[in-house]
Structure 1
């Protein structure tokens, strides 16, 4: 445990005496985004970074969706129903993952801008209790990141091992000059290439799915601290009217910094969550069909881990969005509960204007189409049961099983 604390110190809550570093909530996330090959190459390892970026993104971002589609066209008749659904459920998710990676690639600088804004928020933390609250958010954020990584990688490894056990590649993608049926050498090479591509895709998926959770967790900690700051406005008997007004103005500036942080991340979140909302119901539907009707024990375990990974792509952040709306209401209540009754007219007018702004909740939209919330997540997830019901009613599963027996 002590060695783990030395290697990953940001996973553990620091002492309240240590200055807060909110940017550490995304410490391991941004390191992994760097390993995705979407950052500016460092001068010292310029060629090595370019080579790694080319290899990973060629296999995982660009070729893997093409490989799925080409494999269906070339060898569709050779798939068993379970193998086809296993491949299809991953194919849709791979296409969405590639799209999300490209969105993050284009807007990756916004993560650095968001961390710079977090540094501004940290300068306002003067109490030990405030620093401790941010330290807890930082450690929880990094633990969640590693939890995401574990779930995603368990799926990739389970699928690989269960496929190797039955002597087939995991997804039967198309690779030129490779025929896995011809020899064990070709089988091992194709399985290895598919595992590398899928592990790389899972690695990328962790980064593009977990970043909203990492950033919003630490934002909620700052909003909780900000609510306490608002609640104590005007309670110091030693302050004169001018000092009280200056503190109110400073709180207005703090709120502007919070809104600037949200606006910085909004385009990235809007694009990646929209893409995931489009495919999550369909992917979960294919996974349910595979588990219930076709999967053996090994593939069922792999499918269940895949389902957990798909649910992690939207559910935690949607829950946080609901909490964020509640946090905004708490800010307005905290300001109203402050000691403003005996304030001067200028103070009251400014406070009322500020109160109106605080009553507007912080919300995220998926490309201005879907509000990102638990309700929307439930709605798109329910579509998976519609897919499952449609397949059952049309007897597609029985037809696929019968055609496989005829062959």
Structure 2
């Protein structure tokens, strides 16, 4: 698995490899069973999935909210604000889980489209671009792991250091302040649920930049291919026209990937934008070191959840805007009437770049991310 991240062990990479780590995360959290397995595997996996997602979707949102309500008179202002923002964040996770699980088969179908797109590229330069994209997508997921699980480590360590439960959650029949075994049971439960909650967050927050990066890759490859249209005069007119049709078909396949990913991004990213606003709560307090460690780790996670997706979406718009220029400046003036009419058709349908939005309320762009954060 580390070969994809380090770029070792393979000479030729496929675009679908950029999604390998992502689908492995979805498998870990119980929303993506591996194909071609036995009946026993599926039985055990669905039992595992039911347990994990029941805890993450139903039990955790309830226990987080009950926790700070029951301890309302005990917690100080900073602890209460932290508990409230954690509870609101956890309440948004079930929406993301349900949406991603609902669209999982459609997300998996992207791999088949990517295989068809890869068949068009045999040049060393194009294969190197695919290789760089695969490594970049794997690095995105690895980079997300650092602040996410740093937040878990800092939360657990700081809670144990202060001799209190790391998370302000409710557990029936357990009181962390009563006995030693109850306290450590509470700590162990906090570690367990944070592992899976952050894994869910990792999957739901990394799939937008990863998928958009793959779309950007093939848009850039298409632009370079369009620039070469008509330049090879050794080919007959029919073959040059066939190459133009292949480029149009490639553009349609790229649009189909965007149409598959767009509704998932629309709902999950809107949920993230809505819950991110609660992060500001902790920054109004007069917090000093070391009390500000956890809010700083939490804030860095919030930035990671929306900024990369918005950045890559803005870059995709810029890449799409290069395609009409590439079509116009390709060598089509000396071609026959059929070729020129097809070029005009292609040029007309590429005027609108690929854009993503959050429930059609606002666009997913870098400017939107900066205005919120």
Instruction: Name the TM-score, length of structure 2 as normaliser.
Output: 0.95
Counterpart-to-counterpart distance in 2, 1:142 and 1:20: 13
- Cα deviation for residue 47 of structure 1 reads 4.1
Instruction: Map 1:236-255 to 2 at 5 A.
Output: 236-255=232-251
| Residue of structure 1 equivalent to 2:368 | 376
CA contact (8 A) 1:270 1:367 kept: yes
2:11 and 2:289 map into 1 onto residues whose CA distance is: 52
Segments of 5+ residues of structure 2 without an aligned counterpart are none
Q: Report if the CA contact (8 A) 1:83-1:171 is conserved.
A: no
How much has 1:296 moved relative to structure 2? 3.8
For the residue of structure 1 that corresponds to 2:145, the secondary structure is helix
Could you tell me whether the CA contact under 8 Å between 1:86 and 1:171 is conserved in 2? no
User: Quick one: distance in 2 between partners of 1:183 and 1:295?
Assistant: 30
1:293-332 deviations in whole A, cap 9, x for unaligned? 13541x4222212111111111101011111111011111
Deviations 1:43-95 (A, max 9, x none): 34234323432332233232111111111222211111121122122112111
Q: Is 240-249 or 22-31 further displaced after alignment?
A: 240-249
Q: In structure 2, what is the equivalent of residue 39 of structure 1? A: 32
Question: Hey, what's the Cα distance between the residues in 2 that align with 1:38 and 1:240?
Answer: 50
**What is the aligned counterpart of 1:204 among 200, 206, 211?**
200
**1:25, 1:137 within 8 Å by CA — same for their partners in 2?**
yes
**Whole-angstrom distance in 2 between the partners of 1:14 and 1:118:** 22
Are the counterparts in 1 of residues 68 and 83 from structure 2 also a CA contact under 8 Å? no
Structure 1 residue 13 and structure 2 residue 10: aligned?
no
1:268-317 Cα offsets, whole Å, 9 max, x none, are 1111011111121222x023235xx13541x4222212111111111101
Give the whole-Å Cα distance in 1 for the aligned partners of 2:149 and 2:57: 17
Q: Measure the CA separation in 2 of the matches of 1:212 and 1:126.
A: 27
State the TM-score, normalizing by the size of structure 1.
0.87
Q: RMSD over aligned Cα, in angstroms?
A: 1.7
The residue that corresponds to 2:341 in the other structure is 349
Shift of 1:213: 1.2
Kindly indicate whether the alpha-carbon contact (under 8 Å) linking 1:169 and 1:190 is maintained by their aligned counterparts in 2. yes
Once the two structures are TM-superposed, the CA of residue 361 in structure 1 deviates from its matched residue by 0.4
**Are 1:338 and 2:333 counterparts?**
no
- Counterpart of 2:296 in structure 1 is 304
Aligned match of 2:105: 109
| Conservation of the 8 A alpha-carbon contact between 1:70 and 1:173 | yes
- What is the aligned residue count? 370
Which residues in structure 2 correspond to 1:8-157 (within 5 Å)?
8-13=2-7, 18-40=11-33, 42=37, 43-157=39-153
Is contact 2:267–2:359 with CA below 8 Å preserved after alignment? Answer: yes
Report Cα offsets for 1:12-61 as digits up to 9, x if no partner: 3369x933311110111101101111134753423432343233223323
Provide the secondary structure at the position in 1 that maps to 2:169. coil
The match for 1:389 is: none
SS, match of residue 189 in structure 2: helix
Q: Assess if the C-alpha contact under 8 Å between 1:19 and 1:131 holds in 2.
A: yes
Q: Deviations over 1:350-381 (max 9, x none)?
A: 10111111111000111111211112222222
Partner Cα distance (2:220, 2:310) in 1: 19
Alignment of 1:310-321 (within 5 A): 310-321=302-313
Mapping 1:155-166, distance limit 5 Å: 155-166=151-162
Distance in structure 2 (CA, Å) of the matches to 1:172 and 1:240 = 72
1:288 matched to 2:283? The reply is yes
Q: CA deviation at 1:346?
A: 1.4
Rounded Cα–Cα distance in structure 2 between residues aligned with 1:337 and 1:253:
20
C-alpha distance in structure 1 between counterparts of 2:73 and 2:289, whole Å: 20
